[in-house]
Chains A and B, each alone.
Chain A
Amino acid sequence: MQLLEGEKEQILASVDEVLKNSSKLREDLIPTLQKVQAKLGYLPALAMEKIAEGLNVPAADVYGLVTFYNQFRLNPPGKHQVKVCLGTACYMVGGDITLESFERRMEIREGETSLDRLYSLERVACVGCCTMAPVVVVDEEVEGKVTPTRVDGIMLALQDEEKKSVTEQEPNQGRGEDS
């Protein structure tokens, strides 16, 4: 993946900052990856390389770890992240159908990010609120009893929010992205 302008610097700065407070031991590898991902939203190759250097671990091992654990992402997530729970209770009441509805509405498959980077869709094993099944996590907000019709509602709300943020941002254009 090609990095956009400024992204490289941002990645290097984030990794440096995290490594500053690190024990530099291999056992700090997972917490380091977690902290860097918390800053960047994902783990670009450059970050993995720098972390490998910093902790003196083969880069191949860092890559192995990142691809092993569910939590880590190699690609930037969408602005809005939808996680559909497919724990037992959710599955039994049609969590897979809810997931399919999202796939249809977002026009992406589970595990992907939409081309405009607005949405990403994931399945998670269990959010731990089985009594509210089927459960969906929309941008960290847990929502219970999500039927296919509720999926439409969630998507409309997200699209509305996007429209609003576009109209709100327009007058500010030219001020740069950071505020």
Chain B
Amino acid sequence: MTAAQILGEVFYTIIGLVFVLVGVKALKDDGCSKKITTAAFWFLLAFTFICGPWVPKWLVGAAIVIMAVLTAIGGVVQTKNDVPDPKEVRANADKFGYKIFIPAGCIALVAVVGATIGSKVPAFSWLTANNAIGLSGMVALCVAILLTKCAPKYAAVDGARLMDNVNTTGILPQLLSALGALFTAAGVGEAISYYVSMIVPENNILIACFVYCLGMALFTMIMGNGFAAFSVIMVGVGVPFLINNGANPIVVGALGLTAAYCGTLCTPMAANFNIVPAALLETKNKYSVIKSQIPFAIAMLLIHVVLLYTLAF
């Protein structure tokens, strides 16, 4: 193993420990009737992160299946969190002022600077971009603790609290990348492109750009989930019709997800972003948020087609 890989495993182990903390928190919550299944989910997830590379991979696959069963039966819930007292937070805000943005700003800064140095300076080759992201989290944590002089235990308490807030959807991107790989292995991409090629004339790049962006948006509108649409449309349209025709894969990928978000703006399926806020803001029409967003979304989607056509080729 290289130094870069070892450091990477250290970071994955730390992530695993955050999952363990969420699980332990669940076990301690006596008011929660689902504490056993909730804890089981987080411990299994921690197992895949910490032990994943060292055990037979079918064991990891089996762990994922059990985790899916646990979420399917509604067994994974948020448990009691140590939420900071609003009065205390207000007092802290007045005391520290805008300085509290420094640690938060460190995250993006250290990640980008670290990754750039790691790719340019041979002595820092262990600082891969993955490791730079991990490092940025750790540097920001140290800066936050030094700045606020808070007890280091809050790193664990608040880390577990936010992870619990993100809850099971936090692993969705990872799971969907895995699904994309499985789809590709099983020939799903070929099947979709077989049907898409019936509508799209071959080698017409502009129409392919349009179908790709529109496909992302429409699939997201149907499913309410841009991440899921991304995996499907990327496999079925992005790779065969754009990337295999010489498009820059980075540009295709970057614009694909934001094209999907144009669909998110138009669909009641994305309830968290459109329907819940309308209820929260007590608008007269429950579709007022969507109504307000549709012109923006259409303009944005057309701009995506133009950007893709000009930047990717």
Determine if chain A interacts with chain B: no
Residues of A within 8 A of B (CB): none
Residues of B within 8 A of A (CB): none
